[in-house]
Amino acid sequence: MKIKKSSVENGVKIKTKPMKDFNPNRNFVKVTKRKSKTFPINRFEKRFKLDTETGNSNNDYEITSDLKSDDKEYSENVSSEYLLKEHEYLIGEFKFFVDEKRVEKSLLFDIEDLPEAEIISIPLGNGTNPTSEIDPETEIPSESIDSEEPGGETQVAKDAEMPSKDSTETDAEDLPELSIFENSFKSNIVLAVLKQDVEFYGTVVVTLLCGRITINGYKARPMDPLNIYSPKGFNWVVISPLANKKPPKDNVNWQDLNENFSRAQLDNILGNYNAQCDAIVLLQRNTGAQNLLATFAKHMAENVFPLVNATNRPHYASEYLLNSLVQCADRRGGALQVPTVWTKLALQSGSRLMVTGGKGVGKSTLIRYLINRHLERFQKLLVIDLDIGQPELFVPQTVSCCVIDAPLLGPGFFLNKQPDMAFVVGHVNVVMCAEEYARSVRHLLGHCRGVKGYAKMPWLINTMGYNKGFGLELMALIVDCVQPTDVVQIASNRPINNFEEPLDSKSLARVVPIIYTADEFKRSDDFPKYALHQLRSALPPPNRSYDQPWLMSAKDVRYSNFLARLSQALRGNAKHLTDCQPLQIDLNKLQILCRPAEDWTREELIAGVEANLVYLCKSAASNQPVECFGIGVVRAIDYDAEKLYLLPAMPLTRLLKVNCLALGGDLSLPQGFFKHQGAGVANNVPYVFIIDDSKSSKSIQHFYHRPPEFLGQPVIK
């Protein structure tokens, strides 16, 4: 390279001008040009001392490239980067494009005691192919490099965030290190060295081999496979490597991996692994969730799980094997951002922590985080779910309790866990089943207090987002039933989703009952005292354009919950409900109910359950909560033989307790199950009119009428 004091058409022109305070870190410019052919990378280091005696703005310096004749493959288009620093020498090193992939190097100008320089970018080359000028303030994101190894493909990904202008370190020191992905040549598994946070869209199985990682608050144990569900409409699951003061012991038997990875791939993984700050994980396709994925693909209009068909993504080969999208975590995306205050919520063995707040404030997200974070200390936690609209673990229209001994790495209902105890309420709107809901909550909490094993576990109680109407009265009743030690009140960015006043013990004790005036709902005289934690919602505001495609309505979430549970009915090679063999039940031995209770004849109820979704329950006395074990589909009814044919979506071992079928007030089998019945059904179903594709298929909003006596009169105290 040369520096000469003249003006030409190509190169980079530097105009100097006097200044009082020279800051060597302020002047930063990037100039990017491309070439399309491979060329050798030669390093040029020459030192020059600039003439700065005059120090006046009329001095023009030009930098041009003067290459040797043996560099024949060198193109006119070069990618360079310039940085002014406070030294007296110039050190040059080019940035090249190899096979249209970028290898980043830096070109440094080190200048001592110079006036501030104004840098003007001019196309660098021999002038034959001029290119457009690039704004010095524009940051050029990093790209990825794909290189092939014998028996597999190595993919290298880099975070797109560039260092700030005020950084005092060099460009190479500020950029994050690269994560390495090695793909198996025999099966759907990927071996990876994680050097930065990685987020997923889809479902995968992750096993920690070396180092330490945290997944949405959970510190993974070595050699423990973890199922991750990161669907649309929820926060993406993020795997973060943790730094180690003392590197953990490596107990991996690398010989077992020789069957799926070549020696060159394993050497590449070990060679790039830094035990101080990296982690090695084994990623596998979640083959156990194939029925679930197929059910969502057939019956959900939106892509709740991704379609992996884009070949231009940096990790396409790995994504194809995993059937999930993988990328560096971006704070602007759908990944969970944990506030510092969440880490200060500590549970004890006798803790009874209740999470409250309006709709969409992140109650379930906080519940999952607290479970994951405290599983390192407690082997088991008890989750009491009182949300009948969007429950975390069981199906809608129920209240339930469940012992959790594994992390929730995604929405809990994708795990299809069976509750320890559950009661069906019969509606997703508490206004329509206020008394049934209160009875079910009281019976559920009575059961929890009666189990000795629960007394030594921390309790986490999830509540509804109903904060208007008689919401304060309902919350006072729930607090009286739960007797919590801590109440977390999450405030929304939208005032309409907040309670009218803080949910402290004194405020709830002053609430006058209007709905729950019967003796069975009478609160105790000694209202419980607890610690109130008031938090702001950690969810981003929903008005940002890039968040809109990832929002799911409450109805879609409930629909997803039912689809996940119905996928459990597909056993063996069954792809449709019509492929499953139903169970035959004597119709006369079944009790059939409709919740909430209404005056229906038995004949009408039998006709209502045919080809419909039902709750599988245990009969109870009149006006008592009905215990629920799961859901199922009534395939058909033989009226002559008085037989009912049932497809249960629950473990068959628990069917021995079922003697009652319950219809929900706002529950029906999705229309897609009538439309897509498999190749074994040749004709359309009789008496069924499918309106999915017509404009009239949109649900009609119901306006419920409540008689004046429903509200009653407030009790005078």
CATH number of the domain enclosing 431? 3.40.50.300
For every residue of 473-515, DSSP letters joined together read HHHHHHHHHH--SEEEEEEPSSGGGS-SS---HHHHHTPPPSS
Q: Give me the pLDDT at residue 616, please.
A: 96
**Residue 520 in domain:** yes
Q: Which of 118, 140, 162 is the last residue of a domain?
A: 140
**Residue 132 in domain:** yes
Dihedral, CA of residue 114, residue 116, residue 118 and residue 121, to nearest 10: 60
3-state secondary structure of 524: coil
* 394 contacts 404 by C-beta, under 8 angstroms: no
User: CB under 8 Å to 45, separation ≥6 — which residues?
Assistant: 91, 92, 93
What's the number of domains the chain is made of?
Answer: 4
**Residue 310 in domain:** yes
Q: What is the pTM of this model?
A: 0.72
What is the domain extent for residue 602?
Answer: 576-697
Q: Are strands 459-462 and 352-357 parallel, antiparallel or unpaired?
A: parallel
201 and 179 housed in the same domain: yes
Beta bridge partners of 398: 424
> How deeply is 533 buried, as exposed, middle or buried, from its count of CB atoms within 10 A (0-12, 13-18, 19+)?
middle
* 207 contacts 223 by C-beta, under 8 angstroms: yes
How far, in Å, CA of 444 to CA of 448, rounded?
A: 6
How far, in Å, CA of 666 to CA of 677, rounded?
A: 23
Structure tokens at 698: 């949109």
452 and 318 housed in the same domain: no
How far, in Å, CA of 316 to CA of 302, rounded?
A: 22
Q: Which of 302, 328, 354 is the last residue of a domain?
A: 328
96 and 198 housed in the same domain: no
**Residue 338 in domain:** no
**Residue 556 in domain:** no
**Residue 550 in domain:** no
CATH number for the domain spanning 625: value is 2.40.30.330
CB atoms within 10 A of CB 568: 18
* 632 contacts 569 by C-beta, under 8 angstroms: yes
**Residue 714 in domain:** no
**Residue 53 in domain:** yes
* 567 contacts 291 by C-beta, under 8 angstroms: yes
* 143 contacts 155 by C-beta, under 8 angstroms: no
152 and 106 housed in the same domain: no
How many Å is the Cα radius of gyration of the chain? 32
Most distant CA pair in the chain, distance: 109
Q: Are strands 459-462 and 381-385 parallel, antiparallel or unpaired?
A: parallel
CB atoms within 10 A of CB 573: 7
* Number of continuous H segments (helices) and E segments (strands) in the chain: 12, 34
Structure tokens at 144: 């990825």
CB atoms within 10 A of CB 242: 13
The residue type of 711 is L
How far, in Å, CA of 606 to CA of 308, rounded?
A: 44
* 209 contacts 223 by C-beta, under 8 angstroms: yes
How far, in Å, CA of 426 to CA of 435, rounded?
A: 11
Q: Which of 328, 362, 385 is the last residue of a domain?
A: 328
451 and 394 housed in the same domain: yes
155 and 135 housed in the same domain: no
Mean pLDDT split into 10-residue runs, the chain, 717 residues: 40 42 41 38 35 40 38 38 35 35 37 38 35 36 36 38 36 54 93 93 95 93 94 88 84 86 93 92 94 89 84 88 88 70 90 93 92 94 95 95 95 94 92 92 95 94 91 94 95 88 92 91 91 86 53 85 92 87 93 82 91 91 89 93 94 91 82 78 67 41 45 44
CA 160 to chain centre: 20
593 and 635 housed in the same domain: yes
* 328 contacts 196 by C-beta, under 8 angstroms: yes
581 and 523 housed in the same domain: no
* 227 contacts 215 by C-beta, under 8 angstroms: no
384 and 313 housed in the same domain: no
Q: Give me the pLDDT at residue 382, please.
A: 97
Q: Which of 322, 298, 308, 304 is nearest to 574 (CA)?
A: 298
164 and 263 housed in the same domain: yes
216 and 284 housed in the same domain: yes
215 and 291 housed in the same domain: yes
Beta bridge partners of 190: 183, 283
